Amino acid sequence: MKAKQRFIVAVIILGLLMTGPFVVTSLLVWLDMREAERNMLTQLLLSRLPVGSMMTIFGFAIGVMVLHKLFKQYVEGLLRMAETLRLMLGANRNFRVTLDGPPEVQQLASAANDLAQQRDVLMDDVDAQISRAKASVEEEKNRLAALMSELAQAVVVCNLDGRILLYNNRARLQFKALAQGPTSVSGGALIGLGRSIFSILEKNQVEHAQEVIRQRLTAGKTAISNFITTTRGGQLLRAQMVPVLAPGAEGDAAMSGYVLTVENITRSIEQEARRDQVLHSLTEGSRSALGNIRAAVANLIDYPDMEPELRERFVSVVDDEAAKMSQRLDQTMIEFSDSMKTRWPLEDILGIDIIAAAQRRIDEKLQLPTKTEALDDALWIKADSFSLVFALVFLAAKLQDHYAPRELRFRLTSEGKLAYLDLIWAGPTMSSETFYTWEMESMQIGSETSPLTLRDMIDRHGGEIWYQREKAAHRAYFRFVLPVATPEIEPEAEDRKRGSGRPEYYDFDLFNFEDKSIDLDRKLSELTYTVFDTETTGLEPSNGDEIIQIGAARIVNNRLLRQETFDQIIDPECPLKPESIPIHGITEDMVRGKPTIDVVLPSFYEFCEDTVLIAHNAAFDMRFLQLKEERTGIKFNQPVLDTLLLSAVAHPNQESHKLDVILERLGIHIDSRHNALEDSLATGEVFLKLIPLLEEKGITTIRQALEASAKTYYARIKY
């Protein structure tokens, strides 16, 4: 029986106790009286009945008030204390019972807090012993996870059903790049723990590779399989598969999963094709020019006494054709710069970092002042940074020895796909023979030597170097011509923030994961969830308010995956309400130019497909999504759990179920409220702590959770 029902019963009993004895006594006396006595008593009572009734009602009201106060202090207070004790036992060890109510209840609360404190001391001691016992195992586990996370090659581990149970940071960034496109803002929604690898790779090819490995295992051969596949976006991927063997099993039955190393080869294939095309164009385009030059030179040699006007025409032909060939070679060099990058294992590096390193070395070794001018600080180049810096310092040392410049200057510019790195000085003219000598001798700086010459270093980079004068400025410079690099995708600042510390890209328990659709009778702890939240222009979805941010995170195998998130600001296509901006902190400038709901909602649907949705006050967020169904054609038909309602189910005697209050009650810290992603992460932690509290009440399945939620008072709220 609920507390309110018990209070009603208590009030009825109070009323019976106050009126029952009087009514029974009056009835017995009435039955024993004569008719005359009854008439006299009736006249006597009728004149005094209003006063008596008022006194009875007043007394009953006072009794109800006293009963309500006692009921609230002793019954409801003890019920709240019981809920708090369960919190202390499971969800929040640090929570304590508030010393409130009558002295007896306060003494009980104080004793409960003392017991909780003693239990915490014992649990801390047990936890410390367990931690010491498994420290080496955890260290090995963390070391493996960290190594996998930082590998330069994309690695994905799957079980036999193709469910991803490990992936490293390189794989996350690579597939994030593949997922991005003009109509997608998912930011890597294709890869994630528990998701299917078949959303990325062709299923038939993966299954064929598994069959090849099983055959090789049966034959006792090295188990490995390679294949090339295409993504939905048309990218070419080269994949290598090796098996994960179950301990104790033999033959093809030993395979419990597989490891995939994946490489995007689209760019290299395109470069090979472009290189062949450029070489063919250069060969065919130069043939006619060489023919014309050869014919003109032959005429000049055969007829040395020809007329000056005719000789001038032949010389002009040679000059024109040579200029065309030079122009064609320059154009080829620009188009061919991508292929230069593959001649030596080079790294992508910012040009200004090379200059800064060279300046430090020149100051340290030569004590020669250096300055910079016209720097493109966003220019990336493909370079062997050590040999390039060594070459710059080598040239600076040569200049100091032979020309004693007062200072050196660096300049960094670009043209097309070529970067120009200039080492500038003011001084006397240098001869071409001197520069050629420097170019061909082994580089040396004091006692430091290199087996490479300046020309070797340039060839290693597939670039060029020349000496040139600026006559107007009375300066000269060495120009390094280097290929411009396209840097690899770097994780965004928020990714790096959430990615710090122990990696979360693995869950080996998923080896036994079974692919099942959403079943309402499955346990709450067995399903995959998407916890989401929205920020909006206002609180009235039916009156024109719009979504301006969606944030979401996934829960897989009872773990909140903070690195598998969805976070997108949306252009609402309407002005923001000034009173709402201080709440969510999103301004007009932040939404301007962002994708509209038509672009974002399909990507969010892909992110949360085949999962149960979770939100706090979900009716509010779902109403916004429902109002966009007709416009976008996207319907979210999966079950939706509401932590507001589930909190009311788990703690029916608590006065508030606002998210802030629940967070404090469960001991959950959040950096900032009213940010969609942060709120969704906090809601996910709330849900995970509510699961055992719901199980104590016999609510273990999705169906039971939905039915219990529908019976709460808050389920009546509509938007």
Active-site positions read: 674
Continuous H helices in 151-244: 169-179, 203-218
Assess contact for 480 and 421: CB atoms under 8 A.
yes
Beta bridge partners of 373: 411
Amino acid at site 256: S
b/e per residue, 348-371, with b = 16+ CB within 10 A? ebbbbebbebbbebbeeebebebe
Q: At a CB cut-off of 8 Å and minimum separation 6, what does 677 contact? A: 533, 551, 552, 553, 565, 566, 567
Helices (H) and strands (E) in the chain, counts: 23, 19
| Alpha-carbon gap, residue 256 to 272, rounded angstroms | 38
| Alpha-carbon gap, residue 559 to 528, rounded angstroms | 9
Task: Report the candidate in 202, 208, 172 with the shortest Cα–Cα distance to residue 190.
Answer: 172
Assess contact for 564 and 577: CB atoms under 8 A.
no
3-state secondary structure of 161: coil
Assess contact for 208 and 215: CB atoms under 8 A.
no
3-state helix, strand, coil in the chain (%, to 5): 55, 20, 25
Q: What is the DSSP letter of 653?
A: T
CB pairs under 8 A, 24+ apart, for 65-71? 67/7, 67/10, 67/11, 67/14, 68/7, 71/3, 71/6, 71/7, 71/10
Burial class of residue 572 in the structure, from the number of CB atoms within 10 Å of its CB (0-12 exposed, 13-18 middle, 19+ buried): buried
Secondary structure of 362-396 in HEC code, one letter for each residue: HHHHHCCCEEEEEECCCCEEEECHHHHHHHHHHHH
Assess contact for 215 and 251: CB atoms under 8 A.
no
| Alpha-carbon gap, residue 386 to 394, rounded angstroms | 12
b/e per residue, 697-718, with b = 16+ CB within 10 A? eebbbbebbbebbeebeeeeee
Secondary structure of 297-325 in HEC code, one letter for each residue: HHHHHHCCCCCHHHHHHHHHHHHHHHHHH
| Alpha-carbon gap, residue 261 to 246, rounded angstroms | 20
CB 461: neighbour CB atoms within 10 A?
25
Question: For the chain, how big is the Rg over CA atoms in Å?
Answer: 40
Assess contact for 420 and 412: CB atoms under 8 A.
yes
Assess contact for 460 and 384: CB atoms under 8 A.
yes
Task: Report the candidate in 718, 288, 308 with the shortest Cα–Cα distance to residue 540.
Answer: 718
Assess contact for 408 and 397: CB atoms under 8 A.
no
Task: Report the candidate in 262, 252, 263 with the shortest Cα–Cα distance to residue 223.
Answer: 252
